[in-house]
Chains A and B, each alone.
Chain A
Amino acid sequence: MSRQCKNCGGADIDTDPARGSAVCTACGSVLEDNIIVSEVQFVENSGGVSSAVGQFVSADGTSKAPVLGSGFHTSLGKESRAQTLQNGKRQIHNLGSQLQLNQHCLDTAFNFFKMVVSKHLTRGRKMTHVIAACLYLVCRTEGTPRILLTMIPRVNVYILGKTFLLLARELCINAPAVDPCLYIPRFAHMLEFGEKTHEVSMTALRLLQRMKRDWMHTGRRPSGLCGAALLVAARMHEFRRTVKEVISVVKVCEATLRKRLTEFEETPTSALTIDEFMRVDLEKECDPPSFVAGQKKVKMQQLEQELAKKLEEYQGEINSYRDEIETQLAASSRTKLRGIYASYAREDDDCGSLDSGMTGDEDLEDEEMEAAAQHLNQEFFSQVLEQGDQGGIKDQEGSRDTVPLSSQVTHVPMTALLGPLPSAASLGLTDSIRECITEEDMTNMEDQSKNGELDLDGIDEEEIEKYILNEIEVKAKTELWMKQNEEYLREQKEKEERIAKEKEEGTYKEKPKKSSKKREPILASTAGEAIEKMLEQKKISSKINYDVLRDLNSKGSGSNTTQQAEDVPASGSGRKKLTRRKKQPNKSNLGLAKPASLMGKRLRPLISSAPKKKRTAAKPITPSITMMLPPAAPEPPPAPTPPPVLESGPVAYDEPAEEEEENEEEAEVSCISAMELIGGNDYGCEAEEEEVF
């Protein structure tokens, strides 16, 4: 970068990076002192090892600001995202240390948390829940699961569980299922078996495996099973642990524990003695207990049904005798009918219970049954659906379709059914879905055509009359209801009185309704004005010197400027020091390209500390800057390509620089002038700060 000397106007300026000074060779005056260079410096330690000077600053902008003594009050606030992450980290550490998780787990949890925050899943959820869910996720993936209930005391497990499921789904993490065996060592330790902890654990593990084989563990809370296993194991090894102690460790309730024990008692394993159990493993497996209970119920129902049937049969026999007698007396046509009925009766038995109203449709059924028996593919299904459609959509279709299907299924053996089913089913499904969707459209249209009139057929008026009470009843009910809800009514009255009083006094506060602030749309003639107005409305930061921005708008023009101005003030709100660039009167592509690219680099860390919105605005700018430069008028590059020179202190050369800048092309004005101007107003004279990349 070459510029003119202030004193003599000479263009030959020697910049010494070692000393950090720029000296005019013509008159010898020192133009710049303590230039900041963008080189990495190395320092030698006492052991002879060189290391780079400076701190690593991450692109997230979450690093702590270097402490600079007293004059640095302005930029201690961090942006919201960094604060959230920091807060989350702290909470994770707190909770994790309570649960005795190692550092690796905590770091993983923090990574999960970062992912969650970046996906905006923390919104609307308590931070503690999200943290607990992250930690739980880590435990599960590591294979050392904790009980979800114990992560946070006194919180509803299902709420936590919901959060956890959501996280697992959004982060696409498949946590391996919880094995109750993993809990045993921890619980055994907590129950304090002393030296024999290991033995007791092994016994409990064996018990658990037995429980698994007996189908006791699917669908149950693993902690309950562990509790039962540990209790039995403890007793087997002559430790006295009461149910209460076990419960306090395992966090299930007494009833659950007792139930598990009873279930275990019902398995044949419980009949073994202790030694036998340790040696022998029974072959037979049991059914799950709820299944067994269900089976019992079903059996009882079946018995009842059979009894009922038998009763009916007897009655039926009597009736049939009666009918026979009658028909013997009547004409011959009836016998023919009876024959038909008999055949249908036979079919009835086969098909199970048909809808009683369907006897009229036998012919249709026959056809369908034949068709069904012949081919089990989508044509059939679509046929059935069509017939159903023709027959009358809403009421008939459901029952009609089910009837032929049911008959069809029982006539065809299951293997044949299952064979072509996967393909047929998928095809049939899509077909049926399509049909049903078109059906839905039709029904929707029908409903709309009804126009809200209440269709009164099928409604029994008398019964509805019963639903409404007469006057006496109404009075009685009113009294009752008033008595019941006295409290609530009283509260309502008090509330109203309170509101009335406050209204009179004038201190009535409207209930804080969540009404979004409706901002008027900004009407501005130029982009500059638009920015001004926006900044007035929405104070982005207290660290921006808005006066400068206004000057900026008066000087520069064009969207680039404004964009840049938007960008840079936002980035200026970061803690980083603003760098300013001096410009050369003769710009060259190369000369500019380098500082521009470096400026791009610098812009990026500056921008990254800015709010996200600005980031998107920034990104298109940096490429645009670099793009603008190549099409700039090519100028001969100065003989030495001077390294980019940045000023730190108040620059005496502002004015001529600005004037120069105005002569330059717009693109360059936009790139550089904004920063220059902002820096030029003594904003942030952080002379001591060094920016190292």
Chain B
Amino acid sequence: MEPSNDVALDIIITNVVSVFRTRCHLNLRTIGLEGSNVIYKPEMGKVLMKLRKPRITASIWSSGKIICTGATSEEEAKLGARRLARCLQKIGFKVRFSDFKVVNVLAVCSLPFQIRLIEFTKNNRPIASYEPELHPAATYRIKNLRSTVQVFSTGNITVTGKPLTAFAQYHFTTVIWVYLECTANTMTVEEPLDTMPVCNIY
């Protein structure tokens, strides 16, 4: 186990994807021409609308389905979605805010040591898979949590999946870290890591 300096995990939620429905048909052309921060792509059949306050990009379809990406927390996602709906209301559609659901959460974590991916995958077959030709990280899928962990050789880890809460994901990454500690990775001996991030969960 690693020495007792206060090494802690730095887990940042970087993206929250959510969907909701407006329960009414939306005229994309109107939105595209009257909104100031929208891009209308008729070939794709959707409108991209970007909000500034919670930094959110939303894809709006004419059926009323809206996907919001870019939020940094679940509350923010909801707030952003509501603002969006309010904006659409003001343009003139009878918008109702229903079926809001957070669909995917991406969290990033940085471990203070490097990881030997080949050994890691060997020990964790078949849950882990590593194809250097396709992607530089080893992907580790956990079925019961329905999330995917991508482990990079530099020690960065990204966790994507259905959100339970940030709490559970923190838990989960600690478990992974312990796992990694125990399974064939080494911190290179000459490497005195002077960057010890203090534990913060944003």
Q: Are B188 and A287 in contact (CB under 8 A)?
A: yes
Which of B36, B51, B170 lies in contact with A468, CB distance below 8 A? B36
Nearest chain B residue, comparing its CB with the CB of A430: B144
A479 to chain B, nearest CB (A): 10
A-contact bits for B55-90, CB 8 A (1 contact / 0 none)? 000000000000000000111000100110111011
Tell me which residues across on chain B come within 8 A of A172, comparing CB atoms. 126
The reply on B107 being an interface residue by CB < 8 A is no
Asked if B133 and A148 make an inter-chain contact with CB atoms under 8 angstroms apart, the answer reads yes
* Least distance between A180 CB and chain B CB atoms (Å): 9
Contacts A433-B168, A464-B83, A467-B36 given; does A488 touch B43 at CB 8 Å: yes
Interface size class of chain A, counting residues whose CB lies under 8 Å from the partner chain:
35 or more
Interface string of A423-435 (1 = CB under 8 A from B): 0011011001100
A454 touches B82 (CB 8 A): yes
In this complex, how many residues of chain B approach chain A with their Cβ under 8 Å: the count is: 81
Complex interface: chain B residues within 8 A of A461 (CB): 86
Contacts of A452 in B (CB 8 A): 23, 96-98
For residue B95, give the distance in angstroms from its CB to the closest CB of chain A: 7
Q: Which residues of chain B come closer than 8 Å to A447, judged between CB atoms? A: 98-100
Q: Is A425 within 8 A of B87, CB to CB?
A: no
Q: Are A436 and B164 in contact (CB under 8 A)?
A: yes
Contact B75 A395 (CB under 8 A): yes
Q: How long is the Cα–Cα vector from A287 to B190 in the complex, in angstroms?
A: 10
Binding stretch for chain B, among A213-221, A520-528, A663-671: A213-221
B170 neighbours in A (Cβ, 8 Å): 402, 405
CA distance A453 to B134 in the complex (A): 46
A381-424 CB contacts (< 8 Å) to partner B: 385, 394-395, 397-398, 401-402, 405-406, 409-410, 413-415, 418, 421-422
Are B23 and A464 in contact (CB-based, < 8 A)? no
- What residues of chain B lie closer than 8 Å to A385, measured between beta carbons? 167
Nearest CB in chain A to that of B31: its residue = A468
The chain B residue with its CB closest to the CB of A388 is B167
Q: Which residue of B lies closest to A407 (CB)?
A: B199
- Judged by a CB distance under 8 angstroms, whether A90 is at the interface is no
B150 to chain A, nearest CB (A): 11
CB-based nearest B residue for A419: B1
Bound-complex Cα distance A437 to B144 (A): 13
Q: Which residue of B lies closest to A447 (CB)?
A: B100
A463 at interface, CB cutoff 8 A: yes
A485 at the interface (CB under 8 A from B): yes
Q: Does A291 reach chain B (CB closer than 8 Å)?
A: yes
CB < 8 Å neighbour of B199 from A409, A428, A433, A492: A409
A466 to B118, CA, bound (A): 53
B90 touches A468 (CB 8 A): yes
**Contact B201–A405 (Cβ < 8 Å):** yes
A285 within 8 A of B: yes
Partner of A220, one of B40, B53, B132: B132
User: In the complex, what's the smallest C-beta–C-beta distance from A309 to chain B, in angstroms?
Assistant: 14
A413 to B166, CA, bound (A): 23
With a cutoff of 8 Å between Cβ atoms, the chain B residues found around residue A174 in the complex are: 125-126
The CA-CA distance from A278 to B57 in the complex, in Å, is 56
CA distance in complex: A223, B133 (Å): 8
Q: A288-B153, A468-B34 are in contact. Are A406 and B200 (CB under 8 A)?
A: yes
Contact A221 B133 (CB under 8 A): yes
Q: Tell me whether B126 and A157 are in contact (CB under 8 A).
A: no
Most interface-central of A223, A413, A440, A452 (chain B CB within 10 A): A452
Q: With A466-B36, A474-B33 known to touch, is A432 a contact of B155 (CB < 8 Å)? A: no
CA distance A492 to B136 in the complex (A): 43
Shortest C-beta distance, B188 to chain A (Å), equals: 6
The answer for the CA separation of A291 and B152 in the assembled complex, in Å, is 10
Contact string, B169-197, partner A, CB cutoff 8 A, digits 1/0?
Answer: 01110110010010000001011000100
Complex Cα spacing A177 to B4, Å = 35
Contact residues of A between 567 and 614, Cβ < 8 Å to B: none
Whether B175 lies near A290 (C-beta < 8 A) is no
Report B111 CB to chain A, min CB distance, Å: 11
Compute how far the CA of A220 lies from the CA of B135 in the bound complex, rounded to whole angstroms: 8
**Can you list, as one digit per residue, whether each of A491-533 has a CB less than 8 Å from chain B (1) or not (0)?**
0100000000000000000000000000000000000000000
Asked whether B167 lies within 8 Å of A402 as measured between CB atoms, the reply is yes
Within 8 A of B (CB), among A23-60: none
- Per the bound structure, the CA–CA distance linking A294 and B99 in Å amounts to 40
Nearest CB in chain B: distance from A220 CB, A: 6
Q: Does B37 sit at the interface, judged by CB under 8 A? A: yes
In the complex, whether B161 has a CB less than 8 A from a CB of chain A is no
A339 located at the interface, meaning its Cβ lies under 8 Å from any Cβ of chain B in the complex: no
Q: Return B74 CB to nearest CB of chain A, in Å.
A: 7
Contact among B34, B97, B200 for A454, CB-based, below 8 A:
B97
- The interface residues of chain A lying within 8 Å CB-to-CB of B85 are 454
A353 at the binding interface (Cβ < 8 Å): yes
Interface presence of B145 (CB below 8 A): yes
Cα-based distance from A433 to B165 in the complex (angstroms): 9
Check B178 against A352 for contact (C-beta < 8 Å): no
Alpha-carbon gap, A172 to B126, bound state (A):
8
Contact A455 B171 (CB under 8 A): no
B75 / chain A contacts, CB cutoff of 8 Å: 394-395, 398
Name the contact of A285 in the complex, choosing from B5, B82, B100, B188 (C-beta under 8 A): B188
Inter-subunit contact B97/A453 (CB<8 Å): yes
With A454-B97, A481-B33 known as contacts, the answer to whether A432 contacts B125 (CB < 8 A) is: no
The complex places the Cα of A436 from the Cα of B137 at a distance, in Å, of 29
CA distance A169 to B83 in the complex (A): 43
Asked if residues B136 and A219 are in contact (CB atoms below 8 Å), the reply is: yes
Please encode chain B, from 112 to 147, with 1 for each CB lying within 8 Å of some chain A CB and 0 for all others. Answer: 001111100110011001111110110000000100
- With A285-B190, A454-B82, A456-B86: A426-B175 Cβ-Cβ less than 8 Å: yes
| Chain A positions near chain B (C-beta within 8 angstroms) | 147-149, 157-158, 161, 164-165, 168-169, 172, 174, 177-178, 215, 218-223, 284-285, 287-288, 290-291, 294-295, 298-299, 302, 352-353, 385, 394-395, 397-398, 401-402, 405-406, 409-410, 413-415, 418, 421-422, 425-426, 428-429, 432-433, 436-437, 439-440, 447, 450-456, 458-461, 463-469, 473-474, 477-478, 481, 485, 488-489, 492
Given A219-B137, A454-B89, 19 more A-B residue pairs with CB atoms under 8 Å apart are: A157-B133, A161-B131, A168-B129, A178-B133, A285-B188, A291-B114, A291-B155, A394-B74, A395-B75, A401-B165, A409-B8, A414-B1, A414-B8, A433-B168, A460-B83, A464-B83, A466-B36, A481-B32, A492-B42
Chain B residues engaging chain A, CB cutoff 8 angstroms: 1-2, 4-8, 23, 32-37, 40, 42-43, 51-53, 73-75, 79, 82-83, 85-87, 89-91, 95-100, 114-118, 121-122, 125-126, 129-134, 136-137, 145, 152-156, 164-168, 170-172, 174-175, 178, 181, 188, 190-191, 195, 198-201
30 A-B contacts (beta carbon < 8 Å): A157-B134, A161-B131, A161-B134, A165-B129, A165-B134, A169-B126, A218-B116, A219-B132, A219-B152, A219-B153, A284-B190, A285-B190, A291-B114, A291-B155, A397-B165, A398-B73, A398-B167, A414-B4, A414-B7, A418-B1, A418-B2, A432-B164, A436-B168, A447-B100, A450-B97, A452-B96, A453-B97, A459-B86, A460-B53, A467-B37
Q: Across the A-B interface, give the 8 residue pairs with the lowest CB-CB distance, nearest first.
A: A219-B136, A218-B153, A452-B96, A452-B98, A436-B164, A161-B134, A291-B154, A454-B97
